[in-house]
Amino acid sequence: MEAALLSLTRQSVDMEILAIDDASQDGSVDRMLSLGLRNLRILPLDRHEGITRALQIGLQEASGEFIARMDADDISHPDRFSCQLAAIEAVNAHLCFCYYRDKNENTGRVVEWKNPDGELLSWRGLFDNVFGPHSGAIFRKKEIIELGGYATQFARAQDYDLWDRCLAAGYQFAYAPKILLERTTGASSITASDSQAQADFAALVSQRALGRAFPGISKEKLIALRWLMTGKGEKPTDLATVLEWSIEAASSFLSVKAQTVRPSLLWHDVTLQISKRLKKLTPSEVALARRTMISAACKSLRPRTMALACIAATRLQFV
């Protein structure tokens, strides 16, 4: 926690550091006070409210025009805030994420995240939280409050819920294209310690987003499409129906997003995701999945995508 706070003091912009003490019993407040930070304001809560409620209280109490999120075990690079604010101003965006480096304290594995989804954000965001790290976000306070801020009914995946509502409201996302945050994850992190609840709440956000994109489609079919595009949840019993509909769904999405999403990229993603599910299918399902995958690849008009589909289908055929 001390390292996280000290990293904020090295930023080149003026700020208020607002720490929400969610009725902690571990001496956190004394540790923060011992640092003697002049711009630190600690807001103690009378009782334990949980992370979402604490975030909402912090959002309402913060005095700045912009809100920057950071967790107690993360470290911001000295130019993080200035880079993200510049990215926001450059395109008049509502919120901005930064790239980050994540170290798993249990395995020692280090992974770098660099916004791999790009212009597919609106497509991949239908299925999962691909927007960016919650602790690496900066957003305009006024606009987020106008959306209602953090929805307290989401005990987990509250960031995915908020980003999805931002997307639905037409808010513009920006990305600072460099690593500006060091994250540490492990058994004590919220995502790891309560992974099932995290997954359940994320599924609810995805269902809402898919329902918005494909009105009138049954919940079962939307859930099945999410499995096909992510592998998350249970494998659908009527796979043939969702495979057939996946081409129609992607075409429908492109008819709305043609100005912002290149069809070749979306069809490549559909091909790639179906290829990842092949090993989980029965022989009879594989034949249909292979046809669907090749159909998507043909629509991409990309030799690379066609090669991906052919290699995936051939490899499975001879295994």
What does the H/E/C string look like for 234-301? Answer: CCCCCHHHHHHHHHHHHHHHHHHHCCCCCHHHHHHHHHHHHHHHHHHCCHHHHHHHHHHHHHHHHHHC
CA-nearest of 53, 51, 43 to 149 is 53
What's the pLDDT band for 190 if we cut at 50, 70, 90?
low
Residues carrying CATH 3.90.550.10, the chain: 2-195
Note the pLDDT of residue 294: 94
Torsion angle defined by CA atoms of residues 11, 17, 20 and 21, in that order, rounded to the nearest 10 degrees: 90
What sign results for the dihedral spanned by CA atoms 173, 178, 182, 185? positive
What's the pLDDT band for 177 if we cut at 50, 70, 90?
very high
Note the pLDDT of residue 118: 83
What's the pLDDT band for 186 if we cut at 50, 70, 90?
confident
Checking if the pLDDT of 191 tops 70, the result is no
The CA radius of gyration of the chain, in Å to the nearest whole number, is 22
CA-nearest of 196, 199, 195 to 160 is 199
Measured CA to CA, the distance from residue 229 to residue 283 in angstroms comes to: 20
Checking if the pLDDT of 155 tops 80, the result is yes
Measured CA to CA, the distance from residue 222 to residue 55 in angstroms comes to: 30
Query: What is the pLDDT averaged over residues 142-150?
Result: 98
Checking if the pLDDT of 318 tops 60, the result is no
Domain 2-195, CATH among 2.40.50.140, 3.90.550.10, 3.40.50.300, 3.30.499.10: 3.90.550.10
Mean residue pLDDT across the chain: 93
pLDDT digits (tens, 9 = 90+) for 258-273: 889 999 999 999 999 9
Beta carbons within 8 Å of 238's beta carbon, 6+ residues apart: 224
Note the pLDDT of residue 254: 97
What's the pLDDT band for 24 if we cut at 50, 70, 90?
very high
Measured CA to CA, the distance from residue 230 to residue 243 in angstroms comes to: 14
What's the pLDDT band for 188 if we cut at 50, 70, 90?
low
CA angle, 300 then 232 then 290, to 5°? 40
What's the pLDDT band for 313 if we cut at 50, 70, 90?
confident
SS3 category, 193? helix
Note the pLDDT of residue 315: 65
Note the pLDDT of residue 317: 47
Residue with tokens 């796979």: 239
Share of the chain above pLDDT 70, in %: 96
* Burial of residue 142, with CB atoms counted within 10 A of its CB: 0-12 exposed, 13-18 middle, 19 or more buried: exposed
pTM over 0.75: yes
pLDDT digits (tens, 9 = 90+) for 47-87: 999 999 999 999 999 999 999 999 988 999 999 999 999 99
Cross-strand pairs, 173: 95
